[in-house]
Structure 1
């Protein structure tokens, strides 16, 4: 399986466009899901409003990693990562709210602190494994905890592999272009599969001379196009 270069159908964006990838959000809908209002990051209140909703971009959330040295900073980064990854749909926001309804604040704080220590001392794969196993937070699966790992540790993780987001959209694109094995799942990836994913995207980034998260964004864009344009693509 060749992974050193991206297929021509997967178009690399400019980093400025990746950094500016902005997602709309409904502040009031989110605040009602949180343990209390102190969990809401003030950085999101400074986001520009475009049309009906304010929008938070990738650059803003990446910048919040500087606050991860405190429990409050980790809480705020978690919320920002969830908001950025979710959009405004009530059903999706309510599902993310189960994270806080089924775990205590102390439990979440403990898990986030432990995972970030592992990320900074042992790297992205070890941190992913912790999130899947003993440090698992109920109702926060890989599609969202890899967002947290990415934002928290892209600039500050151990090892040469940067943590990257892995979700069903990216996996759909990888399967479509046969960058992964035929039996690659669209959810519930093992630790070995996450390690394989990082290897693929880091090799492609090195070959193209770009940041690995630019490659992730390219695969996500291709997966989004597939879902909108190709009948039956969600079952690829």
Structure 2
């Protein structure tokens, strides 16, 4: 079997072996304890940032505090989604990116410098606008494919945040209508994929591969679930797995919100379950 064949076999097995009982128990305890605030969704998940540190960034989202503020502020997923929705409706695509980028960086000091360089790229507005249209017409994986490598400095860990918050806009659009529109995004919805989540997936894949008897399970898992640069195929595998695992949790009788796969993404990011333990 070649390396890609092994990777495909491991992906197939991951689709069958979603969350082991230990993971379901750990996630259930989290939802009943420190994660109880997310029982209806991850929208309240907030991070701290310092508005004044972003003083050189334009355009600045109108929904965010003025950058004269030197103290800390908090911004939630729901607030970013609302800001993204407003910016997209005005076709202010760079502004939509800023809101998600600030949320993703939080208080990280080098974030403003990196974002300024990204916004200076001549391709950024067209690439983001195209991604928005593709997300709505063809779905998350196609939008990911279009953004991959399209803007210098904007990697998957951050453009999946942009896609996630942009897709929340479409979810809201659908919830306000009794009928799905013809241009509604294809399932599964966009979710964030970053290094921390990828490492959880890598550890889980390595364990599943070992159970399959793959002698190279660690190497294959490290290859397909690297720290960055994931292909659109890998993103599709991730979305399929996390949406299916959300369905598994919803059926487990632990009160898991079955319509909100972002709660599982948040739990994996927070290290609620460690597949290697």
TM-score under structure 1 normalisation? 0.80
Partners in 2 of 1:31 and 1:146 — Cα distance? 24
Alpha-carbon spacing, 1:164–1:3, altered in 2? closer, same or farther (3 Å): farther
Equivalent pairs counted in the alignment come to: 213
Query: Cα deviation per residue 1:120-163 (whole Å; 9 max; x = unaligned)?
Result: 00000000000015xx1110000000000000013525111000
How far the C-alpha of 1:3 sits from its partner, in A, is 4.1
Alpha-carbon spacing, 1:3–1:30, altered in 2? closer, same or farther (3 Å): farther
Picking from 180, 187, 201, the partner of 1:160 is 187
How far the C-alpha of 1:76 sits from its partner, in A, is 2.4
Partners in 2 of 1:212 and 1:193 — Cα distance? 17
Partners in 1 of 2:202 and 2:231 — Cα distance? 16
- Return 5+ residue gaps in structure 2 as ranges: 1-13, 171-183, 209-219, 251-257
Q: Is the 8 A contact 1:3 1:200 kept in 2?
A: no
- Structure having the higher Rg: 2
- Return 5+ residue gaps in structure 1 as ranges: 227-232
**Matched residue, 1:41:** 61
How far the C-alpha of 1:89 sits from its partner, in A, is 2.4
Structure 1 residues 146-155 or 4-13, which shifts more?
A: 4-13
**Matched residue, 1:66:** 85
Picking from 190, 195, 199, the partner of 1:172 is 199
How far the C-alpha of 1:75 sits from its partner, in A, is 2.6
TM-score under structure 2 normalisation? 0.69
Picking from 218, 226, 236, the partner of 1:195 is 236
**Matched residue, 1:214:** 263
CA RMSD of aligned residues (A): 2.6
